[in-house]
Copies of this chain bind each other. A is one copy, B any other.
Amino acid sequence: MGTGVARKISESTVRRLSLYLRFLEEFEEQGTETLSSEELARRGSTTAAQVRKDLSLFGSFGKRGLGYSVRELKSTLRRLLGLDRAWRVALIGAGRIGSALFAYGDFRRRGFTIVTVLDTDPDKIGARWGSVRIQDAEGLEEVLRRESVDIAILAVPVEEAQRVADRVVDAGVQAVLNFAPTQLHVPTEVALRDVSMSMELEALSFALTTGNGTGP
């Protein structure tokens, strides 16, 4: 029990924890106070055993014979995922994808605050988006340090992505979310996730072609 030992948590478990948290928020809105692993599982297309196993990696949060307190489990998951604090995010690239991401409400709602936006286009530099002013990507390292950025979102053209990633890493940022359709290389201590929209479409193409499903 406890979060003491730094077990190796699998990617799939982390994804499911995020999902559970979403469901708990929905259940809370509906006024549900208590929930069984069975009900969580149904909502998330998984199994009750999987839910319990996932949670048991971090401790014992349920009451036998009863289930889980929605309120408690919700705040436990928020804490486990590190969502009990505000993360400072830099958005690099103020193009179409960048601007869509900037306006994306779900980020803010979950504690990710875009504290700075950078671009190289002189026509964009200096413009205001809400309360932030677009910075010149020329001074990227300085800006990221000054703003104590925790996470960098890369929404830059594919040709520039690796170069920008290198600079972001140089600036000491430990987490990168990449939207460019390329495989970035970063040191192992830097966390990297890709949002690969074309690859998702290709997986659908494959599923349509072979008749293979995609779901679990």
A residues contacting B by CB (< 8 A) are 6, 8-9, 11, 14-15, 17-19, 21-23, 43-45, 80-83, 87, 89, 96-97, 99-101, 103-104, 106-107, 110-112, 150-151, 158, 174-177, 181-183, 185, 188-189, 191-193, 195-215
Q: 8 pairs across A/B with beta carbons < 8 Å?
A: A9-B206, A15-B199, A19-B199, A82-B208, A99-B100, A107-B198, A151-B201, A193-B204
Measured in the bound complex, the distance between the Cα atoms of B104 and A170 in whole Å is 29
Residues of B within 8 A of A182 (CB): 22
B177 with A191: CB separation less than 8 A = no
Partner of A6, one of B14, B177, B211: B211
Given contacts A97-B104, A213-B188, contact A177 B198 (CB under 8 A): no
If A14-B202, A83-B205 are given as contacts, then 13 extra A-B residue pairs at C-beta distance below 8 Å, sorted by A number, are A8-B212, A14-B206, A18-B202, A22-B181, A45-B183, A80-B209, A97-B104, A101-B197, A174-B208, A175-B208, A177-B204, A191-B203, A195-B197
Residues of B within 8 A of A215 (CB): 188, 191-192
Residues of B within 8 A of A196 (CB): 18
How many copies of the shown chain assemble into the complex? 2
Partner of A204, one of B15, B44, B151: B151
Residues of B within 8 A of A19 (CB): 183, 199
Residues of B within 8 A of A192 (CB): 214-215
Residues of B within 8 A of A97 (CB): 100, 104
* A23, closest chain B residue (CB): B183
* A26, closest chain B residue (CB): B182
Tell me the minimal C-beta distance from A100 to chain B in angstroms. 4
Residue among A9, A11, A44 with the highest chain B CB neighbour number at 10 A:
A11
B11 with A201: CB separation less than 8 A = no
B198 with A106: CB separation less than 8 A = yes
A183 with B104: CB separation less than 8 A = no
Residues of B within 8 A of A151 (CB): 201, 204-205, 208
